[in-house]
Amino acid sequence: MTLKIVLLINAISSGITGILLALMPDIFATLFKTDKIAPFVEVGIFLILFSSFVLLAAFNEANQKRWTKLIIKLDLIWVVASIFATVFLASSIGIVGSIIILAIAAWVGLMAYFQQHTLNKLCYESNKNNIN
């Protein structure tokens, strides 16, 4: 799998999640057993912006490696923040909310893994070609 494909998968999944959260926050508030919809809209807007950056990185070969490193860091921050959020909000978001947060964190972690793996492979191949 190429770095561009991995980034496109991340961009599309982040974008779809962001759009759903921003446009249907009441559904997620119900799943999370809360009446607050603003956090869902805010996270949705962030994900839409993030997915736009990832999409830009996918098509910008000149900065792709550098930007991918930043995307990986942001993905890892998301995973850690999700774990903390689940722990600290567990009593107020219900089990379904906790499962949703952790499932998304697992997906984001998987994206970070594939991005890092593909980036490492590119760097290895580049170094190998420079030696020969």
- Is a pLDDT exceeding 60 seen at residue 101? yes
Q: Work out the average pLDDT over 87-94.
A: 89
Q: What is the pLDDT of residues 62-85, one digit of tens each?
A: 889 999 999 999 999 999 999 999
pLDDT at 123: 75
- Is a pLDDT exceeding 60 seen at residue 132? no
Q: Which pLDDT band holds residue 127 (cuts at 50, 70, 90)?
A: low
Q: Which pLDDT band holds residue 129 (cuts at 50, 70, 90)?
A: low
Contact present, 48 and 15 (Cβ < 8 Å): yes
Which of these, 83, 70, 106, 86, lies nearest to 32 by C-alpha position? 86
Nearest-angstrom CA–CA distance, 63 and 9 = 18
pLDDT at 131: 63
**CA distance between the termini of the chain:** 24
Q: What is the pLDDT of residues 12-57, one digit of tens each?
A: 999 999 999 999 999 999 999 999 999 999 999 999 999 999 999 9
- Is a pLDDT exceeding 70 seen at residue 130? no
pLDDT at 122: 80
pLDDT at 94: 85
pLDDT at 47: 97
Q: Work out the average pLDDT over 93-119.
A: 95
**Domain parsing of the chain, residue ranges:** 3-131
